[in-house]
Amino acid sequence: MSFLSQTLARVKPSPTIAMTGRAQQLAAEGKDIITLSAGEPDFDTPEHIRDAAKAAIDAGHTRYTAVDGMPALKRAICDKFARENGLDYSPAQVSVGTGGKQILYNALMATLNPGDDVIIPAPYWVSYPDMVLLAGGTPVIVPAGMEAGYRITPEQLEAAITPRTKWLILNSPSNPSGAGYGADHMRALTDVLMRHPHVWVLSDDIYEHLVFDDFRFVTPAQIEPGLKDRTLTMNGVSKSYAMTGWRIGYGAGPEVLIRAMAKLQSQSTSNPSSIGQYAALAALNGPQDYIETSRAIFQRRRDLVVAALNDCPGISCPVPQGAFYVYPSIHALIGKTSAGGTVIKDDEAFATALLDETGVAVVFGAAFGLSPHFRVSYATSEAVLADACARIKAFCEEMR
């Protein structure tokens, strides 16, 4: 009998690990490597948030808190939902975890049974399918291609729903595509969901504040109040306030779900770090100007990267509505050969050759369930982005 659990055997190791390892190895050999695979803002956490955390330490807030978040933070989260999303939640309907990631994990672990399906539009954030598998459910992948703006249609959703469907996971704006569902697109999906009362919605709103041009962020429970009693609205401070390392995320939904998630957390990790919670409290209740400052910087970078990639022969890069990623297609390059002699048979071959021959590390599309594409994170300076895009352009120009 195997020492390791059968549940773990259902989960794939991260497909990006090999690429990251290769990039680190090349850097250690002294090669000039540019990494465009970061999933986090490159800015420091704003000063008033750092100060609040230091003050919390000095004030002795260094002990256990309530398992799924201290009351003051839950109150601040309710205020945030009311202020920014027009959603009315009570503290008993809020759960705070170690990152948005734990909220998602808790929700799936607390609800899935063998035989339950979870609908996941592709391209998806890499963790969704594996979390579903860990929880004993079955991911049902619905492709949302570039021509469709990386958004699923109501017809696709309708066709994917069966009596086994327990959840739909929506992520707008999306990692990896940056695509967002505006009010009309969201309404079209919520109309379908209203016809299927057994399906719950897990809305991952972690990139809420990183939206560009005239795109307006919406979340399902706000667009369709009739869905609120079967929606978990998930969010966190990681991306909005450059706080990825502090590990605070939260979700709001029906009490029956929130209580089940707290039960799970009470027997696994207990409360998220008390210091992190005080920092998140300062983020949510304090000045919000960092959000607009960083949003404007990301929008400039997005414009730079989209223009530069569309200037590369064989690459087609749509303009995303949000987040800090672009997800261009390399359809026109499949079957070609790089200057270094690699046949570009798929997006993994493209990303590997790009790294080996130019030193630019990106993540290939197969990792996100939609090929042939690659993901660029533009959470780095304009000078670095310009250098990287120039290398990608030369790489494409030399392709035969």
Ligand X SMILES: Cc1ncc(COP(=O)(O)O)c(C=O)c1O
| Residues in contact with ligand X by the rule CB under 6 A | 39, 99-101, 125, 171, 175, 204, 206, 236, 238, 244, 249
CB of 360 to ligand X, least distance (A): 21
Residue closer to ligand X by CB (options 99, 322) is 99
Specify whether the CB–CB gap between 173 and 322 falls below 8 A: yes
- Which residues partner with 211 through β-bridges? 322
Count Cβ atoms below 10 Å from residue 321 Cβ, excluding itself. 27
Of 190, 192, 159, 196, the closest CA to residue 172 belongs to 190
Query: Closest separation between CB of residue 110 and ligand X, Å?
Result: 17
Tell the residue number behind the tokens 């379908």, with chain if given. 192
Report the residue number, 362 or 396, with the smaller CB distance to ligand X.
362
Give the nearest distance from C-beta 96 to ligand X in angstroms. 11
| CA separation for the pair 59, 296 (Å, rounded) | 36
Q: Is 74 exposed, middle or buried (0-12, 13-18, 19+ CB in 10 A)?
A: buried
CB of 300 to ligand X, least distance (A): 21
| Helix, strand, coil % over all residues of the chain, rounded to 5 | 45, 15, 40
By CB neighbour count within 10 A (0-12 exposed, 13-18 middle, 19+ buried), where does 353 fall?
A: buried
Q: 234 with 249: CB under 8 angstroms?
A: yes
Q: Please state the closest distance from residue 130 (CB atom) to ligand X, in A.
A: 13
Q: Which is nearer to ligand X, 94 or 206 (CB)?
A: 206
Which tokens belong to 206? 């972690």
Q: Which is nearer to ligand X, 89 or 124 (CB)?
A: 124
Q: What is the DSSP letter of 14?
A: P
> Collapsing DSSP states into helix, strand and coil, what is residue 96?
strand
Q: How far is the CB of 195 from ligand X (least distance, A)?
A: 27
Least distance in Å: CB of 347 to ligand X?
A: 19
Residue of 241, 186, 180, 248 whose CA lies nearest to 214: 180
Q: Which CB, 56 or 248, lies closer to ligand X?
A: 248
Smallest separation, CB 103 to ligand X (Å): 8
67 vs 103, which CB is nearer to ligand X?
103
Residue number of the CB atom closest to ligand X: 99
Task: Report the alpha-carbon distance of residue 238 to residue 123 in Å, rounded.
Answer: 21
Q: How far apart are the first and last CA of the chain?
A: 51
Instruction: Output the smallest distance, CB 281 to ligand X, in A.
Output: 16
Nearer to ligand X among residue 205 and residue 312 (C-beta): 205
Nearer to ligand X, 69 or 236 (CB): 236
Distance of closest approach, residue 59 Cβ to ligand X, in angstroms = 25
Closer residue to ligand X (CB): 39 or 137:
39
CA–CA gap between residue 7 and residue 136 (Å, rounded)? 8
Nearest to ligand X of 149, 236 (CB atom): 236
